[in-house]
């Protein structure tokens, strides 16, 4: 028996005038998801708790059985994990921007002219950095997309309780990083960060990539600005906690980072973009292949496009994408046998809000032994009358592993 | 966008034979609340948790986002706040009775002949009290209604872990106050209390108010009997926590005390009694005025009469009052625009119980972007099929501030 959590990122919504007070999901024609609702048990889910606005990262942590209030100490660790740095408990991780500094330290462009190429070469140089007096601290940079990068500090006596260097507004110097508590660890980490920012400029201002950019009239990526410090927490890996052999099928670094953090195998896919133009056929084939031909018995799947359309406030695009997923992916997913399928969203991304909201999301479970209710449509309204009533993200793994026969009795 | 929590105190109930097994709310004709149900999303709410019988104070704390198990250390602090003492974290507060003692210290009347007038003058005398050996401890008395008063001890090294002086049964001496744990703070506080009780008799036995009462054959209010010790907790004020500008519109000191505790502005009203004879027109006008003409963007409103009728076991009176609120208040409330309105009760007060019960209460939310469900009546039965399913008091502020657009995303 396999267990599948299929997360349609940001699929939930609020009633829309242009859809006659229906949500996008309600207005969309989704015969396959409706079929799954008919065959399954349905309900509402608060990814974290009622009214709490989840990030995609905190929602996925919650759905995987981690308490985000305990493990989510900052974006840095998950961002670092997302771009493939094998972080270990105790690491202090940061999100960084490549920015442009003038000779006086004034940040003239926070995004270094939205640099797209060559950051890997600059990172190669930065990864030779040692800070005087802190030679035992390992410094790991890794480029992400565009002007983004991550930084990991590894070693003894560090703390995630430090402020951001990001000046937020251009025309200012990088902010001095400060300790956010009175611990010597925070003081030490702040000192390292301040030296690191200054040193990054010295090391990369004349980097060949930057000399070429200057020649071509582009802003050079000549300084590193860290923010979002967080300590990598010690957690029980999902395979140990739930006795599964798990894999993560996702489009974005953010979700892959959550999967890697939980110790899941990450399945790479070609042609996926995280947008509405993604290659859904590839996602579908990867799911089918993993269910039928792999040893993984637990899959976390994230399809991101509906969230992107929600952030863009584009109701038609969101509707179209939901319909396309229904047609391309769900049509095949509903044929899977020997599986429990938990279909949900990680949060609502209402068109009107253009961002996540705290509204609950629809859930359904298909599988041989669920208590099938009489709900026959998959949307925010219909499932509110379903047999699951209203559950939380933290309940998902327990419900799923119980149905799969993997869970253990607590007590006699 | 404004947010309004309107609490009908004790409105929930249980089925009644005399109403053909309907609850009072169900039997009442409430066309305006039904209209609000039709336009809104509905559900059930456990103010604290299923089956837990809330006080009005603990329920309101929970609805305002405070964990009553953490902050509700005893009634003293909230009673003190309710009568207008500006308590500060660390204060130890008590409820007190003015009682009547004979020369041997025997309490002959716990309520001092239900004294109504002159307690303010006695309190003026008591407020000059200093206890030998504890001169650094500030002693604050404040009269409440009738024979009731509050006492606040302010200073270093005090504790709320002390027993009551109230003998409960007349014909006994005031009980010796004892430390309830082994801390020196509790020992010190108990010692102060015992000296304070004795001293109160010495200070006020010959007070002019009492001499006059004795002359008129009334029991003198010649001793102070404290009970319900509690330490004033340190909490985040609601305006800071939820980034609102809040006000409390309430009839009773108990609820005003909760509002004051949370840092809300307290809106005074004329002619309100906390009973079924209250001036509902004034309450209505105050609400409308606050919504339309004040800078407050978040209002907590409490209307108390249904609870009083419930405590009296008077089904007809409770029904009549609910209908009157519907006609006088709700008819105008449902016309408010640019507002999210959260209508609920703080607990059930069933006629049969003549006290609070742990039954869940009905809730509804009106406002521009709620997921309107198909429930068209506002009562305990109809809303059980609503789109909110079953929520808790602790969820209310999160849900409301999310809808208002005031909440922040947790994560990315």
| A337 contact partners, CB below 8 Å, separation of at least 6 | none
User: DSSP state, A114?
Assistant: G
pLDDT of B261 reads 92
pLDDT of A96 reads 96
SS3 per-residue string spanning chain B: CEEEEEEECCEECCCEHHHCCECHHHHCCCHHHHHHHHHCEEEEEECCCCCCCCCHHHHHHHHCCCCHHHHCCCHHHHHHHHCCCCCCCCCEEEEEEEEEECCCCEEEECCHHHCCCCHHHHHHHHCCCCCCCCCCCEEEEEECCCCEEEEEEECCCCCCCECCCCCCCCCCECCCCCECCCCHHHHHHHHHHHHHHHHHHHHHCCCHHHHHHHHCCCCCCCEEEEEEEEECCCCCCHHHHHCCCEEEECCCHHHHHHHHHCCCEEECCCCCCCCCCCCHHHHHHHHHHHHHHCCCCEEEEEECHHHHHHHCCCHHHHHHHHHHHHHHHHHHHCCCCCEEEEEECCCECCCCCCCCECCCEEEEEECCCCCCCCCCCCCCCHHHHCCCCEEEHHHHHHHHHHHHCCCCEECC
pLDDT of A358 reads 98
Give mean pLDDT, residues A75-87. Answer: 90
Task: Output b/e per residue, B75-94; b: 16+ Cβ within 10 A.
Answer: bbbbbbbbbebebeeebbbb
Name the minimum distance, in Å, from the CA of A310 to any CA of chain B. 15
Backbone dihedral angles phi then psi of residue B361, each to the nearest 5 degrees: -115, 155
| B42 contact partners, CB below 8 Å, separation of at least 6 | B362, B363, B364, B365, B373, B375, B378, B382, B383, B386, B387, B388
Which chain A residues are closer than 8 Å to B392 by Cβ?
Answer: 50
In this complex, the residue of B369, B386, B391 whose CB is nearest that of residue A352 is B369
pLDDT of A195 reads 98
Cβ contact B410–A23 (<8 Å): no
A145: confidence class by pLDDT, cuts 50, 70, 90: confident
Is the predicted pLDDT of residue A152 greater than 90, yes or no?
Answer: yes
Chain A residue whose CA is closest to B43: A384
Closest CA to A175 of A134, A123, A217, A227: A227
Residue B140 corresponds to which tokens in the numbers above? 């604050």
Which chain B residues are closer than 8 Å to A15 by Cβ?
Answer: 369-372
Mutation site for A-interface testing, chosen from B368, B371, B382 by largest number of A Cβ within 10 Å: B371
Which chain B residues are closer than 8 Å to A78 by Cβ?
Answer: 412
How many other C-beta atoms lie within 10 A of the C-beta of residue B269?
Answer: 15
Cβ contact A50–B398 (<8 Å): yes
Cβ contact A58–B410 (<8 Å): yes
Distances (CA, A) of A343 to A8, A43, A357, B93, B150: 8, 11, 19, 52, 56
Give mean pLDDT, residues A131-148. Answer: 95
Closest CA to B164 of B67, B99, B84, B260: B99
Strand A53-54, strand A41-46: pairing: unpaired
| A249 contact partners, CB below 8 Å, separation of at least 6 | A267, A269, A283, A286, A287, A290, A299, A300, A301, A302
Give mean pLDDT, residues B32-44. Answer: 98
Mutation site for B-interface testing, chosen from A15, A26, A47, A52 by largest number of B Cβ within 10 Å: A52
User: Per residue in A347-403, pLDDT tens?
Assistant: 999 999 999 999 999 999 999 999 999 999 999 999 999 999 999 999 999 999 999
Which chain B residues are closer than 8 Å to A19 by Cβ?
Answer: none
Which chain A residues are closer than 8 Å to B398 by Cβ?
Answer: 49-52, 358
pLDDT of B344 reads 98
Name the minimum distance, in Å, from the CA of A176 to any CA of chain B. 24
CA pair distance A181, A194, nearest whole angstrom: 17
Mutation site for A-interface testing, chosen from B366, B374, B410 by largest number of A Cβ within 10 Å: B410
A73: confidence class by pLDDT, cuts 50, 70, 90: confident
pLDDT of A75 reads 85
Chain A residue whose CA is closest to B42: A384
User: Per residue in B221-235, pLDDT tens?
Assistant: 999 999 999 999 999
First to last CA, chain B: 25
Which chain A residues are closer than 8 Å to B385 by Cβ?
Answer: 385
Strand A298-303, strand A2-8: pairing: parallel
Name the minimum distance, in Å, from the CA of A211 to any CA of chain B. 34
Is the predicted pLDDT of residue A22 greater than 90, yes or no?
Answer: yes
Residue A366 and residue A35 in contact, taking contact as beta carbons nearer than 8 Å:
no
pLDDT of B74 reads 82
Is the predicted pLDDT of residue A156 greater than 90, yes or no?
Answer: yes
User: Per residue in B299-323, pLDDT tens?
Assistant: 999 999 999 999 999 999 999 999 9
Q: Given CATH 3.30.360.10, say whether it is the number of domain B2-72+235-404.
A: no
The DSSP secondary structure of A39-102, one letter per residue, reads: HSEEEEEESSSTT-EE-HHHHHHHHTT--HHHH---HHHHHHHHTT----TT-EEEEEEEEEE-
Cβ contact A359–B402 (<8 Å): yes
Positive or negative, the CA dihedral B31, B33, B34, B39 is: positive
Name the minimum distance, in Å, from the CA of B404 to any CA of chain A. 11
| B231 contact partners, CB below 8 Å, separation of at least 6 | B73, B74, B77, B90, B91, B92, B93, B158, B159, B160
Closest CA to B392 of B363, B349, B367, B370: B363
Cβ contact A385–B385 (<8 Å): yes
Is the predicted pLDDT of residue A204 greater than 90, yes or no?
Answer: yes
Chain A residue whose CA is closest to B396: A51
Helix (H) or strand (E) holding A303: strand A298-303
Cβ contact A55–B387 (<8 Å): no
pLDDT of B278 reads 96
Chain B residue whose CA is closest to A60: B411
CA pair distance B86, B80, nearest whole angstrom: 8
User: DSSP state, A155?
Assistant: S
pLDDT of A117 reads 94
Mean pLDDT of chain A: 96
If phi over 0 gives left and psi between -120 and 50 gives alpha, with beta otherwise, what is residue A55? beta
Cβ contact B410–A53 (<8 Å): yes
Cβ contact A68–B410 (<8 Å): yes
Helix (H) or strand (E) holding A323: helix A315-325
Give mean pLDDT, residues B32-46. Answer: 98
Which chain A residues are closer than 8 Å to B390 by Cβ?
Answer: 389-390
Give mean pLDDT, residues A309-333. Answer: 98
Cα–Cα–Cα angle for A315, A321, A326, nearest 5°? 130
The three-class DSSP label of residue A138 is strand
Name the minimum distance, in Å, from the CA of B301 to any CA of chain A. 21
Cβ-in-10-Å burial (0-12, 13-18, 19+) of A374 comes to: exposed
Name the minimum distance, in Å, from the CA of A149 to any CA of chain B. 16
| B157 contact partners, CB below 8 Å, separation of at least 6 | B184, B185, B188
Positive or negative, the CA dihedral B266, B269, B274, B279 is: negative
Name the minimum distance, in Å, from the CA of A320 to any CA of chain B. 22
In this complex, the residue of A14, A54, A390 whose CB is nearest that of residue B410 is A54
A93: confidence class by pLDDT, cuts 50, 70, 90: very high
**Residues facing residue A45 across a β-bridge:** A361, A391
Cα–Cα–Cα angle for B227, B229, B231, nearest 5°? 165
User: Per residue in B130-182, pLDDT tens?
Assistant: 999 999 999 999 999 899 999 999 999 999 999 999 999 999 999 999 999 99
Is the predicted pLDDT of residue B75 greater than 90, yes or no?
Answer: no
Give mean pLDDT, residues B76-82. Answer: 91
Is the predicted pLDDT of residue B269 greater than 90, yes or no?
Answer: yes
Chain B residue whose CA is closest to A357: B402
CA pair distance B49, B259, nearest whole angstrom: 22
Residue B410 corresponds to which tokens in the numbers above? 């947790």
Name the minimum distance, in Å, from the CA of B123 to any CA of chain A. 46
Chain A residue whose CA is closest to B395: A50
Name the minimum distance, in Å, from the CA of A260 to any CA of chain B. 17
DSSP 3-state percent helix, strand, coil across chain A (nearest 5): 35, 20, 45
Cβ contact B390–A390 (<8 Å): yes
Mean pLDDT of chain B: 97
A109: confidence class by pLDDT, cuts 50, 70, 90: very high
Cβ contact B390–A389 (<8 Å): yes
Which chain B residues are closer than 8 Å to A350 by Cβ?
Answer: 369
Name the minimum distance, in Å, from the CA of B412 to any CA of chain A. 4
* ipTM of the complex as predicted: 0.90
Cβ contact B412–A254 (<8 Å): yes
How many other C-beta atoms lie within 10 A of the C-beta of residue A251?
Answer: 23
Is the predicted pLDDT of residue B103 greater than 90, yes or no?
Answer: yes
Chain A residues within 8 angstroms (CB to CB) of chain B:
14-15, 21, 23, 44, 48-59, 68, 72, 75, 78-79, 254, 350, 352-353, 355-359, 380-381, 384-385, 389-390
Give mean pLDDT, residues A186-191. Answer: 98
Residue B3 and residue B365 in contact, taking contact as beta carbons nearer than 8 Å:
no
Which chain A residues are closer than 8 Å to B366 by Cβ?
Answer: none
Is the predicted pLDDT of residue A313 greater than 90, yes or no?
Answer: yes
CA pair distance B177, B196, nearest whole angstrom: 11
Residue B85 and residue B152 in contact, taking contact as beta carbons nearer than 8 Å:
yes
Name the minimum distance, in Å, from the CA of A61 to any CA of chain B. 10
Domain positions in chain B: 2-72+235-404, 79-231
Residue A36 and residue A366 in contact, taking contact as beta carbons nearer than 8 Å:
yes
Mutation site for A-interface testing, chosen from B366, B385, B408, B411 by largest number of A Cβ within 10 Å: B411
Cβ contact B405–A353 (<8 Å): yes
> How many residue pairs bridge chain A and chain B with CB atoms within 8 Å of each other?
86
Compute chain B's Rg from CA coordinates.
23
């Amino acid at each position: 028996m396999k267990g599948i959590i299929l997360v349609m990122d940001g699929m939930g919504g609020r009633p829309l005038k242009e859809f006659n007070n229906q949500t996008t999901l309600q207005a969309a024609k989704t015969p396959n998801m409706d079929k799954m609702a008919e065959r399954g048990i349905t309900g509402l889910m608060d990814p974290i708790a009622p009214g709490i606005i989840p990030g995609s990262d905190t929602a996925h942590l919650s759905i995987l059985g981690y308490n985000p209030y305990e493990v989510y100490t900052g974006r840095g660790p998950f961002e670092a994990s997302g771009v493939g740095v094998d972080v270990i408990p105790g690491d202090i991780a940061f999100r960084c921007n490549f920015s442009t500094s003038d000779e006086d330290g004034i940040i003239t462009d926070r995004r270094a002219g939205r640099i797209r190429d060559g950051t890997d070469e600059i990172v190669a140089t930065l990864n030779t950095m040692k800070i005087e007096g802190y030679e035992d601290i390992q410094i790991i940079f890794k480029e992400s997309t565009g002007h983004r990068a991550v930084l990991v500090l590894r070693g003894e006596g560090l703390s995630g309780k430090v402020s951001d260097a990001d000046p937020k507004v251009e025309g200012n110097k990088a902010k001095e990083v400060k300790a956010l508590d009175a611990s010597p660890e925070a003081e030490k980490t702040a000192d390292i960060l301040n030296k690191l920012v200054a040193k990054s400029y010295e090391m990369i201002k004349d980097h060949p990539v930057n000399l070429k950019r200057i020649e071509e009239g582009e802003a050079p990526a000549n300084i590193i600005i860290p923010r979002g410090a967080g300590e990598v927490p010690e957690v029980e890996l999902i395979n140990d906690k739930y006795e599964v052999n798990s894999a993560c099928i996702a489009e974005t670094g953010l979700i892959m980072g959550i999967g890697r953090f939980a110790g899941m195998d990450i399945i790479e896919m070609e042609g996926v973009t995280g947008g509405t133009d993604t290659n859904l056929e590839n996602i579908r084939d990867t799911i089918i292949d993993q269910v039928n031909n792999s040893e993984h018995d637990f899959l976390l799947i994230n399809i991101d496009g509906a969230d992107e359309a929600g952030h863009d406030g584009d109701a038609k695009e969101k509707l179209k994408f939901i319909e396309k997923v229904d047609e391309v992916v769900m049509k095949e997913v509903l044929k899977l046998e020997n599986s429990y399928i938990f279909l949900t969203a990680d949060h609502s991304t209402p068109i009107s809000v253009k961002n996540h909201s705290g509204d609950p999301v629809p859930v359904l479970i298909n599988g041989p032994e669920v208590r099938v209710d009489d709900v026959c449509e998959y949307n925010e309204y219909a499932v509110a009358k379903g047999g699951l009533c209203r559950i939380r993200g933290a309940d998902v793994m327990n419900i799923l592993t119980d149905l799969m026969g993997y869970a253990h009795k607590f007590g006699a």
